[in-house]
Structure 1
């Protein structure tokens, strides 16, 4: 995998909205944080546009993403907000210049699409809090973004959840994944990824239990869950019952569909403690009562 150049003080970084519409005040703290790191934020021309739910028309959002991808002075691209919308514009992007000179793409949730699409180019990306989330994000969430982008070492230690399927045997592999709904949405498309011999991270929010099961069954039927080295389950927020009880909780559903090591409650997802993850990076998981995750 190709690691985009790490950032240094004085670098320009792009700020764009490819999904849900965003107001300027929502990202003020995020912008201030980037400036405190010595970075120079460059806000996309259409970042605060409104077109119903979306941050401008498809053409406007695509234009900002294309411009930031092509501008060689922009060393990383930060996304303001998730929601939905990136899927509508992905097929209009020309990746030629990005593939020649990769740069960091920083976001999560809807941005899972870009993590997967770019993984197929052999380029690492950063699954992390988006600018709108900085005011509520934990210190560690934001600090791990800085560490990852400036080339500092990244590792985590988490207690083994009692429901985890983990025997203490070390596991290694490339980290992939992100929002489960997006992984489900891209199956069979050019953005779909090979999960063989990888370590899969998943998180989600506001889904019914039967829909959670349906997404995993669909991925399994597509052959996506075969040959995984391990699964890291982040925060599953508001995964709820429908009118009729499903009969199993989300952890039980997860264990039913995976036959590899599974660890629960990693601090990432739609929560304040949303630690940065370098997608495409080789990681090593080890430990017994506590699991250490090292980015190699």
Structure 2
């Protein structure tokens, strides 16, 4: 995989479209607080009047959510699409979305967790970078550093950053950065819209997945041959993973499933759920240093 095309930088004179492609929006106070942060920066936000029309656990039918995405992507005044929340549902859009209806003008997609499916699909189908970063409902709970870095990346003020975690497997490597929610990425393996993973540094996070489930997903990656393609693995936060039954620790799972691959692995990096979620530009060039426990990304503005 080669580095992807970076969308143009944006500024507060441009419009940001807000859509809900996944779970039904119920955290309205958190949503309003996130919207305020964007508006305080001077951005005009385009929020559909029917942003969330709950259909069970989804923010609307597949058709409604697909149309929201198409309208936001094709809007000539929209410089970026900020997703309201994650949850579940964006993978359903990939099955139904008519990709021929999307124009070829690159723009930023901003989100994480369930939004992984759309970030990876745009990388595969359009060869365009996305930004793995807080969604609207989590933005106000972020520390100032991650809020500032999110806007600095979008506005072209930050083209390189180093995340510091802990060492797991020694070595250094360079490759294309592909951040993801591990569950979503696992479920995309083998589908037509899964990007190529050769020459990739995979950065993973998840929530409410105990060690045995993480073990199961990584074992699937091993058996399918995809882990063996990677240049390195950067592990973020795996929160709410505690279980009451006897268990391997998460670190023991990492070491058992990843230490024999011959690639550098770092862990406890500051991205993911329930804590600081520093932005990671999906598709940029990155360096992983397993001796220092760091992940460094860099990109060129278009």
Contact kept, 8 Å, 2:112 with 2:180, in 1: the verdict is yes
TM-score, scaled relative to structure 2: 0.89
Q: Match of 2:21, SS?
A: coil
Contact kept, 8 Å, 1:177 with 1:183, in 2: the verdict is no
Query: Within 5 Å, which residues of 2 pair with 1:1-296?
Result: 1-23=4-26, 24-96=28-100, 98=102, 100-120=104-124, 121-162=126-167, 164-167=168-171, 169=172, 171-241=173-243, 243=245, 245-246=246-247, 248-258=248-258, 259=261, 260-286=263-289, 288-289=291-292, 291=294, 293-296=296-299
**Unaligned ranges ≥5, structure 2:** none
Question: Cα gap change, 1:87/1:287 in structure 2, threshold over 3 Å: closer, same or farther?
Answer: closer
Q: Match of 2:229, SS?
A: coil
TM-score, scaled relative to structure 1: 0.91
Question: Cα gap change, 1:181/1:151 in structure 2, threshold over 3 Å: closer, same or farther?
Answer: same
**Deviation string, structure 1 residues 181-232 (Cα, Å, up to 9, x no partner):** 0011112112222211110001011112221111111112221111311110
Distance 1:190 1:266 in 2: 30
Identify which of structures 1 and 2 has the higher relative contact order when contacts are C-alpha pairs closer than 8 Å and 6+ apart: 2
Number of equivalences: 291
**Unaligned ranges ≥5, structure 1:** none
Q: Match of 2:33, SS?
A: helix
Distance 1:59 1:26 in 2: 26
After TM superposition, where is structure 1 displaced by more than 4 Å over at least 4 residues in a row? 286-290
Contact kept, 8 Å, 1:154 with 1:295, in 2: the verdict is yes
Contact kept, 8 Å, 1:180 with 1:202, in 2: the verdict is yes
Compute the displacement of 1:43 (Å).
0.5
Q: CA RMSD in A?
A: 2.0
Compute the displacement of 1:137 (Å).
1.2
Distance 2:288 2:212 in 1: 30
Compute the displacement of 1:138 (Å).
1.2
